[in-house]
Structure 1
Amino acid sequence: MKIGILQTGLVPDGLAAEHGQYPGMFERLLADQGFTFQSWSVVEGEFPNGPDDADAWLITGSRHGAYEEHDWIPPLEDLIRAIHASGKRMVGICFGHQIIAQALGGTVAKYEGGWAVGAHTYDFADGPRTINAWHQDQVIDKPEEARVVATNPFCANAALLYGDSIYTVQAHPEFDDAFTEGLIDQRGRGVVPDALLEGARAKIGTPLATGEMSDQIAEFLKTGKLT
């Protein structure tokens, strides 16, 4: 099964040599799940021909806001709607979660409560899961067709399910602790309040639900069902 990865952001230069780009992180997250992968750097204007270029789709995170005026955002929203109309399955993570919601009628904005950085725990149907997060923007109003399937007090729409075709998550199951600590050092300073950064650093080593999220995302891409 071929997964098309739509890359919407670039890893900071100081971290790319060690960690690679975002598509590679997802390939590692979903390793041994029977997938092949092809990536398109939509943030750099590279797009597939359409939904049929892959069997299912995944949209990565980004430092950009879904509501920002970039040349690549309108065609990405058009592609999202085309994939949705085709019935092919799609997963969105962080910015991917947000841009899918925006493309399908929801609202994304900077959250008045500020940033979520580092390990955060979310209430899923089968219990709590701790995942690394890195975001200030949130889906403030979800699309009418979307159903909330994970939440916490900081992020009401932490994961959304659109029937059996789209599943999106605000947090970053593909971020390990080393990459998160790198973001704290290289992207967070002067952007995220120092107290939040140090609080996130103190949580490094908290057990993460990486395996559970990998299995759930893989199962959804294959069957349209959440485990």
Structure 2
Amino acid sequence: MKDLYIFKVGKTFEKTKNQLGDFDDWVRNSVTTKDLTIKTIDILKGEPLPPFTSTMGVVITGSHAMVTEEHHWSLDVEEWIRQATKHPIGILGICYGHQLIGKALGGKSDFNPKGKEIGTVTILTNPQIKEDPLFKNAPATFSANVTHLQSVLTLPKGAEVLGYNSHDNHQIVRYGQFIWGVQFHPEYDVQIINAYIEEQREDLIQLGFSPEKLIKDVTETVYTNTIIDQFIGVLSNQGNTH
């Protein structure tokens, strides 16, 4: 049986971590499959990246870093992604992970010209999403939680946009047969996004946001909270577990 790995490429705020856990905890909490080995690789601690032959799939987390900073650990993950495309490995990139896949495969990730996006937002889907093995059950529009300054601005060759909104043209991208990126956070629940708004309260006010309105607009994100589980299901159905 091959393993599922979480590439933990960042950590949350200390207060949030103490109350709600960290990035890898939230990904694990999204998984309902019990007969699956999930291993966290703490990229910032220099833990070695897994061999391709024993890897079923990878979820790359968000980060408080910026892809454009090109930290050595981030460049190492980029190279791993490029090599992984030669193998039947599933990859789901979340926020920073999404931007990293886009950059690794030849696109451009940088600061979004429209600035910061945070809170619960509406995602719209393209008609071809119904043909996608992971997102075929996505509603035409759905709610998702976001917090980001950077985005995938230019897609790599062959990538397909499945979802978007007024702030970001590339909210859901399929990069390869089993490689996807989402700019939003499928692992965030109401508590987590509220914590992120509170943690950034002063900065948000400076940027012209109303933290009170953002919190008032937070809703349950029922569909997005199933995506990580469905990602594992797709890999299992394709025989990537053996």
TM-score, scaled to structure 1: 0.90
Q: CA 1:220–1:197 in 2, change beyond 3 Å: closer, same or farther? A: farther
Question: Which residue in 1 is equivalent to 2:236?
Answer: 222
- The letter of the residue matching 1:98 is Q
The answer as to 2:131 corresponding to 1:118 is no
Q: CA 1:196–1:62 in 2, change beyond 3 Å: closer, same or farther? A: farther
Q: CA 1:93–1:79 in 2, change beyond 3 Å: closer, same or farther? A: same
Offset at residue 35 of structure 1 (A): 2.9
Instruction: Give the one of 206, 214, 218 matched to 1:200.
Output: 214
The answer as to 2:36 corresponding to 1:35 is yes
Q: Distance in 1 between matches of 2:194 and 2:154?
A: 31
Question: What SS does structure 1 have at the residue aligned with 2:177?
Answer: coil
Query: Retained in 2: the 8 A contact 1:167–1:220?
Result: no
Offset at residue 52 of structure 1 (A): 2.8
Offset at residue 43 of structure 1 (A): 2.1
Structure 1 unmatched ranges of 5 or more:
none
Query: Retained in 1: the 8 A contact 2:189–2:221?
Result: no
Offset at residue 214 of structure 1 (A): 4.0
Query: Retained in 2: the 8 A contact 1:6–1:59?
Result: yes
Question: Which residue in 2 is equivalent to 1:8?
Answer: 9
Question: Which residue in 1 is equivalent to 2:159?
Answer: 146
Q: Deviations over 1:169-219 (max 9, x none)?
A: 110010111111111112353267252533321112355424442453233
- Aligned CA-pair RMSD: 2.0
The answer as to 2:196 corresponding to 1:183 is yes
Offset at residue 167 of structure 1 (A): 1.1
Q: Distance in 2 between matches of 1:200 and 1:47?
A: 39
Q: Percent identity?
A: 24
> Aligned residue pairs: how many?
224
The answer as to 2:19 corresponding to 1:21 is no
RCO higher in 1 or 2 (8 Å CA, sep ≥ 6)?
2
Offset at residue 48 of structure 1 (A): 2.1
Structure 2 unmatched ranges of 5 or more:
130-138
Q: Which runs of 4+ in 1 moved over 4 A?
A: none
Question: Which residue in 1 is equivalent to 2:178?
Answer: 165
Q: Structure 1 stretch 37-46 or stretch 204-213: which is displaced more?
A: 204-213
Q: Distance in 1 between matches of 2:34 and 2:92?
A: 15
Q: Distance in 2 between matches of 1:161 and 1:14?
A: 34
